[in-house]
Amino acid sequence: MFNWYKLTFFLGFSLLLFVLVIYDRPTTKNDGRTELRILSCPPPGYDRKFEETLREFEKLHPDIRVKLIKAPGNYYIKVQTMMVGKTCADVVGFTGKRVNAFKIKGMLLNLLPFAKRDNYDLDDYFRVGLEDAQMTKDELYYLPTEGSGTVLFYNQDIFDRAGLKYPDAKWTWNDFRDAAVKLTRDTDGDGRLDQVGCSISYWWAGMLPWVWANGGRLVNRSQTKCHLNQPEAIEALTFLIDLERKYHVTAKALGGTESAGIYENFASGRIGMMSYLAYGLPTLMDACKNSTVRWNIAMPPKGKYSRPIRYTSSGWVIWSGSRHPEKAWELLKFLNSKKIMKEYCFDNYFVPARKSIGLSKEFLNRADTPYNEKVLIQSLQESRPLDNIYALRSIESDFGIAVDKAKLGLSDIQTEMDKVAAKADAALQEYSSQKREQ
């Protein structure tokens, strides 16, 4: 039977590649300057300031002209398409968790030779940021500009009304669950919940840190077996699923999905606690700008072995096909200079990737925020990046399907994670065999 789906996909991909080749190809101007292109999606409302930053670089480097390219829609599909089509920008905005897949395909430039030659101070970066970049003694393909760990946002007004003490460093998972139950209320007596105790990320990257904190792992140390079906993992996943399915204390009980409008609901006093990455601070600050809600952040509750904290970051890479790698490196260094990084992170409520900024009194004692920046740094220092295993490229969707079936009561989490682990084991073994044959 003729496969119309494959034909449609092929024609669509070909059209996209053609458009990128035609409209994103480098332009030439006879002014004697080298044109560098940068692909990025600046934070909302920061476009103008970012353009000003690029003009500042041009003043310092009069032989270089910088062209900003934006990538609406599915950003990384466009990035990959441009790299394959050899039309990519020289410098590209990236996240740490995306590095491995592009590095393996030879699409990123190794930055370490440049850093060593210029005595670039990599020691000024928080250790976890370089771990996220998968730095080795010979390779470095990415430098973070900002990075953050998971924190517990909490509404002080809701806690006060319930007569509960605020979350502190001694909190356990049971303390978290019990508080969530007490904070979940039908405040007007109409039979519908108006306020819930918590919001949890049921995305695999949000749930995996709870598995770590309970002593579990994604895979074994040799990366040959998936451990998501082991007792430590199942216990952690069950705890999270029960918050929604058994206790009905999560944002899902307000109607809609768990993640829909969480920051707006928090700002309006409908959610008592949120366990999310501090990366969400800009969105929350914006949601709360017209709100009188009093809120702060604390460390996530302790599990058996640690706290459920993962690390995420964003920064820059250089495309391996750049015709101007030296000048691209100068632009990357400028964007991650102390001055520019500080401006960028302070303006957007991000945690700086450099220790000299993040540990400074100016950052730790900011007067324009309602939360404690010291908690941000503590979370960062206790965080760890996601397992970046190329063979498990489908783990996100497989994990999501398993959790959804368990939350809907269509199956139990042990049965579903047995399936996820079996598929992951096969992928790990196949990838290992391919590497041995190379």
Q: Which helix (H) or strand (E) holds 384?
A: strand 384-385
Residue 16 has pLDDT above 90, yes or no: no
Q: 4-18, 59-73, 232-246, 274-288: lowest mean pLDDT where?
A: 4-18
* pLDDT of the residue at 389: 86
CA neighbor of 212 nearest in space, from 198, 222, 227, 224: 227
Q: How many CB atoms lie within 10 A of CB 4?
A: 8
At 378-415, the pLDDT tens digits run 999 999 999 888 888 889 999 999 999 999 999 999 99
Q: What are the percentages of helix, strand and coil residues in the chain, rounded to 5?
A: 50, 15, 35
Residue 17 has pLDDT above 50, yes or no: no
Q: Is residue 3 part of a domain?
A: no
> How many whole angstroms separate alpha carbon 82 and alpha carbon 65?
20
Say how many residues make up the chain.
Answer: 438
Q: Which of 346, 377, 408 is the last residue of a domain?
A: 377
Query: Are 63 and 100 in the same domain?
Result: yes
Q: Residue 154 sits in which domain range? A: 150-308+389-437
* pLDDT of the residue at 176: 98
> How many whole angstroms separate alpha carbon 132 and alpha carbon 103?
13
Q: What amino acid is encoded at 9 in this protein?
A: F
Across 83-98, average pLDDT: 95
CA distances from 334 to 174, 239, 310 (A): 47, 45, 28
Query: Are 180 and 292 in the same domain?
Result: yes
The mean predicted confidence, pLDDT, of the chain is: 91
Q: Is residue 373 part of a domain?
A: yes
Query: Are 72 and 131 in the same domain?
Result: yes
Tell the burial category of 312 from Cβ atoms under 10 Å away from its Cβ (0-12, 13-18, 19+): buried
Query: Are 42 and 117 in the same domain?
Result: yes
Q: Which of 377, 398, 424 is the last residue of a domain?
A: 377
* pLDDT of the residue at 334: 98
Q: What is the largest CA-CA distance in the chain?
A: 73
Residue 426 has pLDDT above 90, yes or no: yes
Return the axis-axis angle of helices 231-245 and 395-407, rounded to nearest 10°: 50
At 251-278, the pLDDT tens digits run 999 886 666 689 999 999 999 999 999 9
* DSSP conformation letters of 206-269: HHHHHHHHTT--SB-TTSSSB-TTSHHHHHHHHHHHHHHHTS--BGGGGSS-SSTTHHHHHHTT
* pLDDT of the residue at 73: 78
Query: Are 158 and 122 in the same domain?
Result: no
At 159-178, the pLDDT tens digits run 999 999 999 999 999 999 99
> How many whole angstroms separate alpha carbon 69 and alpha carbon 85?
16
Residue 10 has pLDDT above 70, yes or no: no
Q: Is residue 9 part of a domain?
A: no
CA neighbor of 153 nearest in space, from 297, 57, 49: 297
- HSE (CB half, 13 Å, CA atoms) of 53? 22
Q: What amino acid is encoded at 148 in this protein?
A: S
Cβ distance 285 to 370 under 8 Å? Answer: no
> How many whole angstroms separate alpha carbon 120 and alpha carbon 137?
14
Q: Is residue 201 part of a domain?
A: yes
Cβ distance 38 to 69 under 8 Å? Answer: yes
- How many domains in the chain? 2
426: which residues sit within 8 A by CB, 6+ positions away? none
> How many whole angstroms separate alpha carbon 81 and alpha carbon 13?
9
Residue 311 has pLDDT above 50, yes or no: yes
CATH of the domain at 226: 3.40.190.10
Residue 187 has pLDDT above 90, yes or no: no
Query: Are 298 and 336 in the same domain?
Result: no
Query: Are 168 and 91 in the same domain?
Result: no
Tokens of 403: 């959790």
Query: Are 235 and 356 in the same domain?
Result: no
* pLDDT of the residue at 261: 85
> How many whole angstroms separate alpha carbon 216 and alpha carbon 175?
21
Q: Which of 350, 377, 404 is the last residue of a domain?
A: 377
Query: Are 248 and 319 in the same domain?
Result: no
Cα dihedral: 302, 306, 308, 309 (round 10): 120
Can you name the residues that pair with 196 across neighbouring β-strands? 271
Query: Are 171 and 101 in the same domain?
Result: no
160: which residues sit within 8 A by CB, 6+ positions away? none
Q: What angle do CA 342, 347, 352 make, to 5 degrees?
A: 40
Q: Is residue 154 part of a domain?
A: yes
Query: Are 197 and 331 in the same domain?
Result: no
Q: Whole-model pTM?
A: 0.89
At 327-347, the pLDDT tens digits run 999 999 999 999 999 999 999
* pLDDT of the residue at 129: 95
Query: Are 195 and 223 in the same domain?
Result: yes
Q: How many CB atoms lie within 10 A of CB 288?
A: 18
> How many whole angstroms separate alpha carbon 304 and alpha carbon 364?
29
Q: Is residue 6 part of a domain?
A: no
Q: Is residue 5 part of a domain?
A: no
Q: How far does Cα 331 stand from its chain's mean position?
A: 24
> How many whole angstroms separate alpha carbon 204 and alpha carbon 240?
12
Q: Where are the alpha helices (DSSP H) in 24-155?
A: 47-60, 75-84, 99-104, 112-117, 127-132
* pLDDT of the residue at 93: 96
List phi, psi (to 5°) of 107: -90, -10
